Amino acid sequence: MSTDTMDDDTLHLPKGVRVETLDVRGQRLRVAIKDGDTSKPPLLMFNGIGANLELGFPFLTALKGRRAILFDVPGVGGSPMPGLPYRPSTLARLSKHLLEMLEIDRVDVSGVSWGGGLAQQFAKQYPKICRRLVLVSTSSGWTMVPGKPSVLSKMSSIKRYTDKGYMRSIAAEIYGGAFRRDDTLINAHAAGMRPSSNAGYMLQLLAMTGWTSVPWLWLLKQPTLVVSGTDDPLIPVANARLLAHLIPKARLELIDDGHLFIVTDPSGTAKLVGDFLDDDSV
């Protein structure tokens, strides 16, 4: 194990958040760790495809009092490329090794969009570690009800993360919701983007090829919160309904927004998630 503190002079880190590079069994990971109440399990967060950890900072800031862990997937943001391609099961195992390094044996797990698939995989693979599950703007994998082809083609291009002007020009079309009503909302999100490599982005796309959770969702025992925007061009709300139907202890919440309501309303989303994680009646 080796640990290096990142040179984050260009970052404006939220209070209580530190960013480090950790060597996790030979794979270097850039990790954000948020301090909080040690009596509660921390929240392990999985980002969307191509998204560096800074894009999760608004939600982290709004998530009051709770510890959280978020890392750049290999090949994304500040984490270097892996030696070999990976699958969701590989990343779930890497996440488990990271938690072991941090001496954490119990977590709540959340995933946004692409990261929602990884969150489902982690919950299945490590049921004794994952206490509760939060699935945001996500689906069951290749069995999903797809968005419009024109929207999916723009989403699959790394250009939206390497060209901030392009991101601004397509935000309303691919993310929907509040971005349709206010085209300035994307500016803060774009400012936090840290370009990924083409190879890293491609690895993320390939990792989910042929993956689906449908055959085993009924086996998940964790209380689960499924949240979807009603105006999501990328992942239509039918996918959230399917997840909530197939996961035995799932609750569905619909938000009057688009794909990235966690970005457009981080405070509201954090309250919804925090209330669910703290609800002893679940």
Task: Let me know if residue 265 belongs to a domain.
Answer: yes
Task: Let me know if residue 134 belongs to a domain.
Answer: yes
Task: Let me know if residue 185 belongs to a domain.
Answer: no
Task: Let me know if residue 263 belongs to a domain.
Answer: yes
Task: Let me know if residue 169 belongs to a domain.
Answer: no
Q: Tokens representing 157? A: 């291009």
pTM higher than the cut 0.85: yes
Residue 113 annotated in active site: yes
* pLDDT tens column, 217-252: 999 999 999 999 999 999 999 999 999 999 999 999
Q: Give the CA dihedral 202, 207, 211, 216, nearest 10 degrees.
A: -150
pLDDT at 121 over 70: yes
Q: What's the pLDDT band for 195 if we cut at 50, 70, 90?
A: low
Task: Let me know if residue 201 belongs to a domain.
Answer: yes
Between CA 95 and CA 24 the distance in angstroms is: 9
Task: Let me know if residue 61 belongs to a domain.
Answer: yes
Catalytic residue among 79, 95, 110, 113: 113
Task: Let me know if residue 191 belongs to a domain.
Answer: no
* pLDDT in the model for residue 153: 80
* pLDDT tens column, 73-105: 999 999 999 999 999 999 999 999 999 999 999
Domain of 264, in residue numbers = 3-148+197-278
CB atoms inside a 10 Å sphere around CB 259? 29
Mean pLDDT of 30-57: 95
Q: How many domains does the chain have?
A: 1
List C-alpha distances in Å: 144 to 57, 68, 115, 245, 254.
28, 29, 15, 14, 18
Residue 143 sits in a domain whose CATH number is: 3.40.50.1820
Range list of β-strands (E), the chain: 3-5, 17-24, 27-34, 43-46, 68-71, 107-112, 130-136, 224-229, 250-255
